[in-house]
Structure 1
């Protein structure tokens, strides 16, 4: 079902961006405890042993480096990898509906959102538009 307005931010994003509001999210300590508790409850994401071929390559290339994913996203990650294999095996018979499903799974996993990607600090200094 469609939802009006912007999607709510995850709690860890409020911590990273510094947009935590005491009246909405509580103290920073309680917010950190909730984030760590949720991560500990679900555990890490593990690759299923039955993934083969292009599905396994997709897992290794796209899902494994995504350190922000936990086990709660495992079904979506598996569906994405299996759709990716189907796309790679027969791209001409991959329908527009399946393209939409694959894009929404990538969005749900955070693979299309650069804000989720950690890593090294930017080498650029200054303003990207005026320097």
Structure 2
């Protein structure tokens, strides 16, 4: 059975191992300074939020990070699920679905209007799950790096 709880300082080493797996998956790299600041902000649970999933043996098997922000199409907020990662050896076992449900519950409790997220078009494994738990919007993502 998967359990999910907010990130705490004690989760650092296990989170870091998962975080590095996440960055590797997306062929990305960040400085140690950014990684440390990210974890500190997630644990502070102020603007950024994070949770860790554990299997029945207490092993960390996934994480999720999210934030809420004001929106112009509602009087409440939107919740953006920014990062979701499940250890490769546990994928397909319901951890990703449980992490999304956790964020949804937190967003509902906070009065948010919706939860949304992005993924890469080639992330077919994750997209198969996302197609079961959410509605694709058809929007195309653009960005300008600063």
**Normalised-by-shorter TM-score class:** under 0.3
Instruction: Provide the TM-score with structure 2 as the length reference.
Output: 0.26
Compare the two structures and name the one with the higher helix fraction. 1
Instruction: Provide the TM-score with structure 1 as the length reference.
Output: 0.28
Compare the two structures and name the one with the higher strand fraction. 2
